[in-house]
Amino acid sequence: MKNLIVTAAGLSSRFEGLKPKWMLTHPKGNWMIVEALKDFDFNSVDKVYLSFLQEHVDKYNCLDAIKLCISELGIGDKTEIVLLDKQTDNQPHTVYTVIKQANIEGQIIIKEVDNYFTYKVVDGNYMCYYDLNDTTSINPSNKSYITIENNIITDIVEKKVVRQYKTLFVDLDGTLVKSSGKYTPPYWGETEGIKENIKFLNDLYDTGKIYIILTTARSSSSKEVTLKQLEREGIKYDNIIFDLFHANRTIINDYGTSNPYPTCDAVNLVRNSNELERFLKDLGK
């Protein structure tokens, strides 16, 4: 038994002020739900379940319109409409709720209503995806992403770019250790570490996916006391750059199909603040 579950029970928050996205009109005149499903191979499934929020159906009085869409798709004989009483937490929760409410058994195929693609339904567990390296014509911040390792999906993140590897350029004084100076106390190498920032950075280092380069305006003549300080405070890193200007720092990086935009970011942290994690909390996930 193969079952297609179509999830149309989201709040469509990205379309503020508009009807739910599945009700939006495509340039061809059809509702989006019809355009998203029109080339699906319905002969390859035994049953189709269309899930909606009851509040949307009531608000827009669109039950008959949904039935018309089903008729246009030619799937009236195998389709069941599932109305959810309340909003779910996310798409997986929606799918779970539909399975329980409709007593679905057998293989399930899950399809959203805000995208269009064709594929052959086969047996087994799999996910359809598009490699970001093959396109530059999307807004990456409003897509969902998967992480694949050895042909196995290890992570799914909604509406957030998944970055497997990253290089961090991290300032030393005022970021990882309390600010110090060359001419007046506290002198370079004397201050204590900012423990919260160090722990967060060390945890990132331990993932093996974050390359950490420490940057500092300290002169290379202070290298010995600096390295001793880093060891004393237990700061993990891959490389360190001395002799930078005591001035603004800017990173310039290219982007393209193999490394999509944006390829660099910037964080400005209040001196001696312990809130580094607040700005980089999504790294290493």
Nearest to 59 by CA among 31, 28, 18, 98: 18
Residues 241-271: pLDDT tens digits?
999 999 999 999 988 755 667 788 889 999 9
Residues 190-219: pLDDT tens digits?
999 999 999 999 999 998 889 999 999 999
Q: Is the pTM of this model over 0.95?
A: no
Amino acid at 9: A
φ/ψ (deg, to 5) at 266: -140, 140
Measured CA to CA, the distance from residue 21 to residue 11 in angstroms comes to 9
Asked if 239 contacts 213 with a C-beta cutoff of 8 angstroms, the reply is yes
Asked if 180 contacts 188 with a C-beta cutoff of 8 angstroms, the reply is yes
pLDDT, residue 284, reads 42
Provide the token pair at 268: 């400005």
Measured CA to CA, the distance from residue 178 to residue 180 in angstroms comes to 6
User: Which domains does the chain possess?
Assistant: 2-126 (3.90.550.10), 129-162 (no CATH), 166-280 (3.40.50.1000)
Residues 151-197: pLDDT tens digits?
777 776 665 555 567 899 999 999 999 999 999 999 999 999 999 99
| 26 DSSP assignment | P
User: How much is the average pLDDT of 11-19?
Assistant: 63
Around Cβ 237, how many Cβ atoms within 10 Å? Answer: 17
